[in-house]
């Protein structure tokens, strides 16, 4: 995660286009929000609040997709966005499973 923050900082610092720099800044702030949501998810799992867990992850894929499409960066950054999308979807499914919304046959 620190690697992604470093990537954002480098992209922001080296962007010559003001609009692109702004998009990187917004994505960096969104990434901070995602890290906070992951922390809240950990707390939700510990407390057994699986609906809260799903709520925290519900916007993760959208944030990752928006940043991947509007603020293209290095290969590593694009891979990190893809990873975040997969993590978000996986955690949403896990939250539903833990909340008993799936029937295991």
Q: Tens digits of per-residue pLDDT, 22-74?
A: 988 988 888 888 888 888 888 988 898 888 888 878 777 778 777 877 777 67
Q: Domain limits of the chain?
A: 2-98
Single pTM value for the model = 0.73
Whether 85 has a pLDDT exceeding 80, the answer reads yes
3-state secondary structure of 59: coil
Q: How far apart (Å, rounded) are the C-alpha atoms in residues 27 and 14?
A: 15
CA–CA dist 60, 22 (Å, integer): 20
Determine the Cα–Cα distance for residues 75 and 22; give it in Å rounded to an integer: 20
């Amino acid at each position: 995660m620190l690697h992604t923050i470093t990537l954002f900082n480098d992209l922001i610092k080296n962007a010559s286009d003001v609009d692109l720099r702004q998009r990187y800044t917004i994505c960096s702030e969104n990434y901070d929000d995602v890290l906070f949501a992951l922390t809240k998810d950990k707390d939700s799992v510990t407390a057994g609040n699986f609906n809260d867990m799903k709520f925290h992850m519900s916007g993760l894929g959208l944030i990752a997709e928006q940043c991947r499409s509007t603020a293209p960066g290095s290969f590593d950054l694009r891979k990190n966005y893809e990873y975040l999308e997969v993590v978000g979807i996986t955690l949403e499914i896990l939250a539903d499973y833990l909340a008993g919304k799936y029937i295991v046959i």
